[in-house]
Each structure stands twice: as structure tokens, then as C-alpha cells.
Structure 1
Amino acid sequence: MSINFARSIEEKTFEHPCYNCIAHKYARMHIPVAPKCNVSCNFCNRKYDCINESRPGVTSEILSPKDARDKFKIVKNSVKNLTVVGIAGPGDPLANFEETRESIKLIKKECPDITFCLSTNGLMLPAYAGELVKLGVTHVTITINAVDPQIDAQIYKYVNYRGNTFVGVEAGKILLHNQLSGLRYLAGEGIVCKINIVMIKGINDAHIPEIVKKVKECGAYMTNIMPLIPVKGSVFGNRDTVDEYELADMRKKCGKYLKQMYHCRQCRADAIGSLDRDVSAQFRNYNKNITTIDKPEEIHKNDSGHRSYRFAVASSSGDYVDEHFGHVSEFYVYDVSDDDIKFREKRNVEMYCRGPQECSGHDDRISGVMKCIEDCNGVLVLRIGFEPVIKLHERGIRVFQMYSTIEEGIKRAVKLMGKCF
């Protein structure tokens, strides 16, 4: 007879990859059971649920609570390092509380000691925080992009609170009050709270240290400052994002006040696996046979015995890594040997992803892209979806997501491949 000793919140935090940067060996599963949302963010467009898009608010399916339980059982049997189940949308879990509650109950019945977490905009926290504690949720992420309603008014189009729609500063006041009061309650009950902050140039970037100081005062465990992802079709779709240096500088500045998260991947609402290796595409038809994509990394060597690499870079200008893999029309190809980075050539490709209506079922286009870069060891992109990641892995090609100059990006990729400059 096996005996199950319940793990403490400290142990669960240690094994939670989003709350502990050294927990990368552990896996999480996001269950997309919450399609409705009660806040309209200017940076969000949840209608674009393309399988080649990797960002919050995106999923390839919506599950019922029973479907989520059944899929969890299959994933748990296959992904042996699974420690966390999270609800991150694609809308807001508390705007879909019946589905959220039922999903937690069903999965807890299957696996009582699984760590349960959720991500919310915080609007309905005062109404449901007590129930979350009773359900055994131990980790909650709240997105708080301002602690000034005037700034919130620039970030949110509206909030729908208890059936009434509010806009502007009034919406900001309601949202902020509920976020902070919910945070105080959860922290007081011993729930580990992470605060997500989207860094938006010219709107809240100078304000972020004030957010961090305020949420620390209210009991937050850590903050996760993330770059804005300009999403086509959103109000901020054409807005500039911050580069990795600006982001790192802000995290360092705010690290004086509160623990910072440096390893966020801004995951989809149906993500499965470790943070650096999402395997959710394997489980889309989860009642079918599961295959794995493990493949040993190949190290190329030149004639003198030195390790060398070839990288394909998704760039719109030849200066920055700034293109989504599915939107690339040409790759910049670089060869690296020791500390020498040399531009080799540009290679034209047919754009793989042309929008949600044309993104799937076009194996001819993606095959052409794969053939174009099949001699490369790695590809540097701003964003990439799960289907091309799997196809690249199958060919032994590593994927590096980032926003940086090409030179710095290649240096970082080489370091991750096992060679430091």
C-alpha cells in the first residue's frame, strides 16, 4: 500500500516552473476551460487562435471540465514530471468560475496532491478568492499593469463588472480596487501570489517600479515584468515593444523591491510540458496515440575540430531578431566558428502563416520553409508556434525565441548550444 504525504506550499512552489527558475525539470499543464473574459485589454486579441501563435490568450481548443479531466489523465500518464495544472484562459478563469471550479474538483479527485494555479485579471477576486482557498488553489497570478486608474484607462478599453460596463478612469478604479483587495486577501491566507506586468512603452514603463512597490506592500511573492507582444488586430497591434536590454534593466531596478521572474515564456492557454519545451501539440487529439519528439542535439564540427554552427534568423531588416516564424519571407543565415560570426546569405521563403483562415493544412508551405533551413543548427525568431517547433525538433534544429540584435541573439544562442563567447 502506498502512502501519499501531502506536500507543503513551500514544496509545491519549489516544483512550480513559473515560480522557481530552477524548477525547469518540472512540467505544467494549462487547461483551456475559460473562454469568456470580463476585461478588454488593448494588447489582446483572442480571436486569432492560430496554432502557430505562441502567446497568452491563444488556444487550439476549448475543453469542458470533464474533457479537461480526461485529458489530464492522459497527460499525467505520459508526462511523468507533471507537477502543476493551471487555468490561464483563453479568457479569465474567474469570468468562467463554474467551469473553473468544476475542473479543479474533477482533477483534484484524480490527483489530490497536484498543484493548482490560475491566472486572472483580478476583477472578480473579491467574489471568488475565498472559494479558491477552499478549492485548494495554492498559487495565483494577477495581471496588474498599473496602480493609477489614469494609466489603467489607457490600457483597458472597458471592464464588465457584475453586468455593467465601465470605461476610462472609472473602469480603472474598479479594477485596481478589486485587484489589490483580492491580492491582500489571498496573501493573508497563505496563497503564493505572482503579479504579471505588461511593460508598455510610453504608457506604464516609467510607472512599473511603483506597481512593484505597491504589490509588495499587499503581499505579493514576486513580479513578472513582460514585454508587450504587438498582436495584429489589437489596439496596440502597431505599438513598439521593449527590447531585452530595456526589459532586463527594468527587472534589475525592480529587483531591489521584490523577487523577479526572469524565465517567463508568455505561454499559450493550452501549454503542456516544461517552460523550454512545450509538447501540447502532441495532445491535441488526446484520445489518439501519443508520440514523443525527443531527439539528441547534433553538434557540427569543422575540419579543424572546432565546433561550428549555422543559424537562420527571422528578421525584417537584417538588424534585429524581430519576425514571427510564420510571417518570415526571408531568413538571414549566419555561420559561427569559435567567436567568429559571419553573414552567409539571405534565403527567400514563402510566408507560412497568412492568418487564422489559412494557417493550417498547408504542408506544402511549411515543408518549403523547413527545406530552406534544413542545414541550420538553430533558428532565431521573435515568436513561433508549436507545430513548426515540433517539425524543427524532428530535424534536430533548435529554436530560440527572443527580441535582440542579431549579433547578440546569435551569441546567446551559441551559449545555450553549449559554447560561451
Structure 2
Amino acid sequence: MRTAASTPAFPELEGRHPCFSITAAGHAASARLHLPVSPRCNIACAFCRRDFNDVEHRPGVASRLIAPDEAETIVARALTLLPNLAVVGIAGPGDPLASDHALDAFRRIHARFPDLVLCLSTNGLRLPDRIDEIVAAGVATLTVTVNAVDPEIQARIAPKIGWQGRGLSGRAAAERLIANQLAGIAAAAARGLTVKINTVLIPEINEAHVGEVARVTAAAGARVINVIPLIPQGDLAHLPAPGIVARARARAAAAEHLRVFSHCARCRADACGIPGVSDVSAELWGDGRVAEPTFSHG
């Protein structure tokens, strides 16, 4: 492994950003808020199932969409509930770069709350052509979901994408997505953003490929990776969730090239609190949802 797990990967973020804090203590020190402002997605992942409900604790789910002009009010309300709120992120329920909503919300929040860390999570398809907007909006940390750097593998994971007004499928879709992801990671790193990779660990498809994803994305400028076990759903509902041995092997392979983040929680697109520790979403959104503080994703 590149560095001991007890050593912070990013001292300036350790204890401030739960998803970029490598140590367990740092991960549990500050709260984050996810704003569900992104209505659309531009790729079709085989494992994805977006939904609106109050009961599931997983990515791609929110109680409702909010408009960008609601963002400031919601952040202000969250700060009254969580004085240790340090991060505002946008991670769905669609892709934040597939519409203008996320960047509009970030610009508003950055102007009013400049001390908050702004974090964007994207599939990376629009990353190269929107990087200047991302920087201008005040975003400091970036997560890019990269599930394969081999087009044959990627085509099985996201068989279709929407690109420049037309649909691409199969290998053509995979090649375009991978090229844009790597170019976007390099552009983000060059502009000073801290880049994390999310990789969904999928049995029978990419479980032997995670080390290569880490190697290639590290060369592009990423600095940490989060290996997320598959939630069997959508077109991959027939596959099992990867077991503890498969998870350990994949993370060990990734650790040859990147620091590994291992405290991930299965966060909703409207989550609010400390991941895996506290959840004040019901109070924030007024949806009556019962808090469930132990929804581990890995």
C-alpha cells in the first residue's frame, strides 16, 4: 500500500470532508449535506435504479428534487441543525453535469457560504467541457465514477450514453465515456481540484479490473479511490453483492496505485448528517423519514 491507513491523505480535508477523510476519526468529525438538484442523467448504468422515496438508503434516491434557487435556504436550515456541517455535495439523483442545476446551486451557495467545502460527484462524461464552470462555481473536491478503463468491460456496465444530442451504444459509448473521464480528471487535477474515484465492484464483470482502474486514473491525476460493492438491482439484479474477500482483494489491488477510502456509507442524494453516524434528513426535509444511522455501503 502507498501509505498507512492511519495517515491522512489530505491533511487540509481530514476531519472536514467525510468522503475524503481516510482515518475513521476524521470521517466522523464533520457532517455533509447532499442537495438533490440534478434531474437528468446522460449515461445508462446497468446497476442504476433512480427513485423518489423516503425509505431506501442508497445512491440515486431522494425524497424529491429541489430547484437551484432553494439551495441557499436549505443550506442555512441545515447549518442550524448541524453546526459541524462542513461539506455541501451534489451527487444526484441524476448526473450533476447533465444539466445546469448543480452548478447554478453551487454558485449561489459559494457566494453566501464561502467557508463550506463544495463537492461534486459525476460520471465524467461532461467533465472536460464543464471544468471551467466547475472551478468558477467554487467546487473544491470532485468524485468521478470510473468503473472500467477497458472499453469491453465498460460496455457491459454502461451500454448506452447520450453524447452531443445523439445516442451511442456498446464500444463506441464506452470509448467516449472513458476518454472524457480521463481527460476530465486530468483537467480537474491541473486546476487544483482534489479528485477521488468511485468504482463499483461488480462480480463477473470488473472485479479483476479495479487495480487497472486505479493505475490509469492515478496517472491522470486522481489521488484516492473508493471501491463500492455492487447493490444488485436494475439489469444487474441477478448478480450477487461482492463478499468480504472480493472486496479486500479489489481494495488491495487499488492500493498499489491510490489511497483507498474505506468508510463509505450508502448515501442518498438528499442525505444530511455524518455518514454512518447521524442522519437529520427527516428534520431537514420534513419528510417524516426515520433516521437509520448505520447504512454501511462496504
Q: Considering the TM-score relative to the shorter chain, is it more than 0.5? A: yes
- d(CA) in 2 for partners of 1:108, 1:388: 28
* 8 A Cα contact 2:45 2:158, kept in partner: yes
Tell me: CA distance 1:49–1:29, structure 2 relative to 1, closer, same or farther (3 Å): same
Structure 2: distance between partners of 1:253 and 1:197: 12
Paired letter, 2:17: H
The residue type equivalent to 1:258 in the other structure is L
Question: How far, CA to CA, are the matches of 2:106 and 2:76 in structure 1?
Answer: 13
Distance 1:53 1:156, change over 3 A: same
How far is 1:13 from its partner? 5.3
Structure 1 position 12, deviation (Å): 3.9
Asked if the contact 2:46–2:236 (Cα under 8 Å) also holds between the matched residues in 1, the reply is: yes
SS at match of 1:224: strand
- Structure 2 gap segments, 5+ residues each: 1-9
Report the secondary structure of 1:209's partner residue.
Answer: helix
Aligned residue in 1 for 2:4: none
CA contact (8 A) 1:142 1:193 kept: yes
Query: Partner of 1:53: helix, strand, or coil?
Result: coil
**Cα distance, 1:249 vs. partner?**
2.6
Q: What SS is found at the alignment partner of 2:86? A: strand
Aligned equivalents of 1:13 and 1:123: distance in 2? Answer: 28
**Residue 283 (1) aligns with residue 186 (2):** no
Corresponding residue for 2:182? 180
Deviation at 1:127, TM superposition (A): 1.0
Deviations 1:225-259 (A, max 9, x none): 1100012xx10122111012321232123212210
Change (3 A) 1:228 1:130: same
Deviations 1:103-128 (A, max 9, x none): 01211122112100110000001110
Alpha-carbon displacement from aligned partner over 1:47-78 (angstroms, at most 9, x marks no partner): x3231111111000100012121111111122
Greater radius of gyration (CA): 1
Aligned mates of 1:156, 1:164 — CA distance in 2: 16
- Select 2:290's aligned residue among 377, 387, 400: 387
Q: Secondary structure at the match of 1:270?
A: coil
Distance 2:296 2:274 in 1: 15
Structure 2 partner of 1:57: 60
Counterpart-to-counterpart distance in 1, 2:68 and 2:133: 17
1:28 equivalent to 2:32? Answer yes
Q: TM-score, normalised by structure 2?
A: 0.91
In structure 2, C-alpha distance between the alignment counterparts of 1:173 and 1:249, rounded to whole Å:
27
Distance (whole Å) between structure 2 residues aligned to residue 402 and residue 64 of structure 1: 28
2:81 is equivalent to residue 78 of structure 1: yes
Q: Deviations over 1:356-378 (max 9, x none)?
A: xxxx9xxxxxxxxxxxxxxxxxx
Aligned residues with identical type, % of pairs = 38
Stretches of structure 1 lacking an aligned partner (at least 5 in a row)? 1-8, 287-359, 361-385, 391-398, 404-421
Q: What value does the CA root-mean-square deviation take over the aligned residues?
A: 1.8
